[in-house]
Structure 1
Amino acid sequence: MRIAVTGSIATDHLMVFPGRFAEQLLREQLERISLSFLADRLEVRRGGVAANIAVGLGRLRLDPILVGAAGLDFAEYRAWLRSNGVDTSAVHVSEMLHTARFVCTTDQDQNQIATFYAGAMAEAPLIDLAAVVARTGRPGLVLVGADAPAAMLRHTVSAHRLGIPVAADPSQQLARLDRDQARRLTDRAQWLFTNEYEAALLLERTGWTERQLLDKVGTWITTLGDAGVTLTRSGTPTLRIPAVATDTIADPTGAGDAFRSGFLAGTAWQWPPQQASRLGCALATTVLESVGTQEYKLAPSDLLARIDQTYGRTAARAMEPRLTDAS
């Protein structure tokens, strides 16, 4: 099964200031701030939720279709995505704007000052999912990830109209959605992804109770960090999947996207949700142990060893044929 992944494509510029922001701020001058921080480290990383998820699927040989908007500076990023097995033919490239950018400076107390430039993401609502499907073929699933809200709504409506199952993953955009938008994005989703905080926020935004929401979606998947993942369906007991433990956390950014890659890969291979979640947890821990959302090395033997250690030999054997083929 092929998966279309819609959502943001971005570049992260991450800097470290070796001092404290608080020491540079004068209480009596807070209304007229003009400061420059000399950073001693810069890391430029490829990011964006849709691109992160698509890279994971691409490395597992699932030929995902990336659907999003990028800018004038996209050529190098496009080449990287293609080299990682991602179909970028459905990416809209702006003729005027640059790719979305996240610029963040962190001080020694882990305080952050950041700016997000939406750039070409503002043109994502111009993308016609029906036209993409006509060009690239009908996918078995459309993931609607964080993007310009108008694009998220348009892709959701198009997928339902085409009869293609939807995985709803509103994540960072939940705070911007009103009640009607939140309901339209989640209603009838086959899979719904949130983290623990987003789960509470989604209920607040939709105005639905947990039971009402579960009656409107297939399975609600909630990531809980080192506590693992829960899978909840209406009328059935909640299933909890423990996380794959690690003693080395280099960077938590992108772990949730990696989980989605692993889970969706298992879904594409028609694995039961519990089995797909275990792969997602193993991939998420792999990303936790590396710096950057896409810089990790994916080795099937490593994933299988993690799965064996956490979930047992039987679980690892069930996944071994597919993961071996993916190598």
Structure 2
Amino acid sequence: MRIAVTGSIATDHLMTFPGRFAEQLLADRLDRVSLSFLADNLDVRRGGVAANIAFGLGTLGLRPLLVGAVGADFEPYRVWLKDHGVDTDSVRVSGTRHTARFVCTTDRDQNQIATFYAGAMAEAREIDLREVTARAGRPDLVLISPDDPQAMLRHTRTCRELGIPFAADPSQQLARLERAEVRELVDGADRLFTNEYEAALLCEKSGLTEEQVLRQVGSWVTTHGEAGVRVRAEGRAPLTVHAIEVPGVVDPTGVGDAFRAGFLAGTAWGVSEQAAAQLGCAVAATVLGSVGTQEYHLSGEQLLTALRTAYGCRYETELTTPLRELT
């Protein structure tokens, strides 16, 4: 199964604040916030939602197709992704703008304050998936993750016109999208990905109830942090999978992207949704134990051990063969 991942490609600047953001926010002054946090550490890492997911899929042995827009400074990043199994030949390089930047500060309670600069990502709307499929072949699934809003809409429309199954992952861009745009991105999606907060925001922005959303998608996959993940589809009981406990969380950045990579890899291998969600949780747990979104290594035995410990031997069986092929 060939998966194309469209969306942001960025450089992450990750900082840690040893205190608590909540202790610096004054309830009666929230309309005039002016704060500066002295960070203890700075890590500059590769990131961007689409690149993170594509990296995860590549490390799991798939060869995902990455589709997005970057600046001329992308070349070292391109080499890194190609070395990890990602097809980057459909990435558009801007002649005038820098690759997008994500600047994020995390406090001692793992709360985060972040700013995202789009940069070259604004040119993603110029990418035509028809040209991508002409070059690389027709993908079996297109994941439409946060990107330039017009690019997200264009890719969704093209998938419908070409009859290519697509998965919707609007997440961070929900705040920028209008009601009609949210509805267009969701309608007909093979899968819809959100976290718990985004699920509520999606309903508010679209004006749809959860039941109405479920009528429009194949399944709705919602992550709930430490509480795990819930998969719902119209006409069947919800599926709940608990998260894998991680002692000493290092950095939560990119954990949702890692879950999506694991879940989609399981889907590509044809395993059940339960096994796919469990694999997603195992990959997410690995990322929680490292700084940055692509600074981890996956091995089949490591993942099988995590799955066995968290879910028992009977849940490991479906994933044994594909995971043992990983080095």
Match of 2:28 in 1: none
| SS of corresponding position for 1:230 | strand
| Distance across 1 between alignment mates of 2:219 and 2:111 | 36
Confirm or deny: 8 A CA contact 2:299 2:326 kept in the other structure.
no
Q: Secondary structure at the match of 2:72?
A: coil
C-alpha separation between the residues in 2 aligned to 1:105 and 1:314? 40
List aligned pairs for 1:21-100, cutoff 5 A.
41-100=41-100
- Number of the residue aligned with 2:11: 11
Q: Deviations over 1:130-162 (max 9, x none)?
A: 110110011100000000100000001111111
Listed as ranges, the matches of 1:1-327 within 5 Å are 1-16=1-16, 41-105=41-105, 114-327=114-327
- How much has 1:243 moved relative to structure 2? 1.1
> C-alpha distance in 1, partners of 2:102/2:127?
23
Paired AA for residue 188 in structure 2:
R
1:114 to 1:243, Cα distance in 2 relative to 1, 3 A: closer
Residues 68 and 121 in structure 2, CA contact (< 8 A), matched pair in contact too: yes
Cα shift at 1:41: 2.9
Which region of structure 1 is more displaced relative to structure 2, 132-141 or 101-110?
101-110
Q: Which structure is larger by alpha-carbon Rg, 1 or 2?
A: 1
Letter in 2 for 1:170: P
C-alpha deviation, 1:115, in angstroms: 3.7
Aligned AA (1:67): V
Aligned residue-pair number: 323
Q: Structure 2 vs 1, CA of residues 130 and 223 (structure 1 numbering), >3 Å: closer, same or farther?
A: same
| Partner secondary structure for residue 231 of structure 1 | strand
**Aligned partners of 2:57, 2:109: CA distance in 1, in Å?**
35
Cα offset, 1:103, TM superposition: 2.7
Alignment check: 8 A CA contact 2:13 2:43 kept: yes
Alpha-carbon contact 2:110-2:252 (below 8 Å) kept: no
Task: Tell me, yes or no, if the aligned pair for 2:67 and 2:91 is still in contact at 8 Å.
Answer: yes
Q: Assess, with a 3 A threshold, how the Cα gap between structure 1 residues 82 and 213 changes in structure 2: closer, same or farther.
A: same
**Which segment is superposed worse, 137-146 or 269-278?**
269-278
Inter-partner Cα distance in structure 2 for 1:173 and 1:217: 19
Does the 8 A contact of 2:141 with 2:164 survive in 1?
Answer: yes
Judged with a 3 Å threshold, the aligned counterparts in structure 2 of structure 1 residues 239 and 16 are, in CA distance, closer, same or farther, namely closer
| Cα shift readout 1:223-269 (whole Å, capped 9, x = no counterpart) | 01111111101011111111112212111111111110011001111
Q: Secondary structure, in 3 states, of the residue corresponding to 1:326?
A: coil
Q: What is the rounded CA distance, in whole Å, between the counterparts of 2:108 and 2:231 in structure 1?
A: 38
- Residue type of the partner of 1:235? G
Confirm or deny: 8 A CA contact 2:15 2:39 kept in the other structure: yes
TM-fit CA distance, 1:278: 0.9
Judging changes above 3 Å, is the alpha-carbon distance between structure 1 residues 14 and 265 closer, same or farther for their aligned structure 2 residues?
same
**Structure 2 CA distance, aligned partners of 1:297 and 1:285?**
12
Aligned-partner Cα distance in 2 for 1:225–1:284: 10
- Normalised by the length of structure 2, the TM-score is 0.92
Give the structure 1 partner of residue 27 of structure 2: none
Q: 1:305 to 1:110 in 2, by over 3 A?
A: closer
In structure 1, C-alpha distance between the alignment counterparts of 2:115 and 2:83, rounded to whole Å: 29
The one-letter code sitting in structure 1 at the alignment partner of 2:98 is: H
Report runs of 4+ in structure 1 exceeding 4 Å deviation. 16-23, 35-40, 105-114
One-letter amino acid of the structure 2 residue matched with residue 234 of structure 1? E
For residues 267-312 of structure 1, the C-alpha deviation after alignment (integer angstroms, 9 at most, x for no partner) is 1111111111111111111111111111011111111011111111
Q: 1:159 to 1:110 in 2, by over 3 A?
A: closer
RMSD: 2.5
**For residues 182-210 of structure 1, what are the alpha-carbon distances to aligned partners after superposition, in whole Å with 9 as ceiling and x for unaligned?**
00000000100000000001111111111
Change (3 A) 1:17 1:305: closer
What secondary structure does 2:189 align onto? Answer: coil
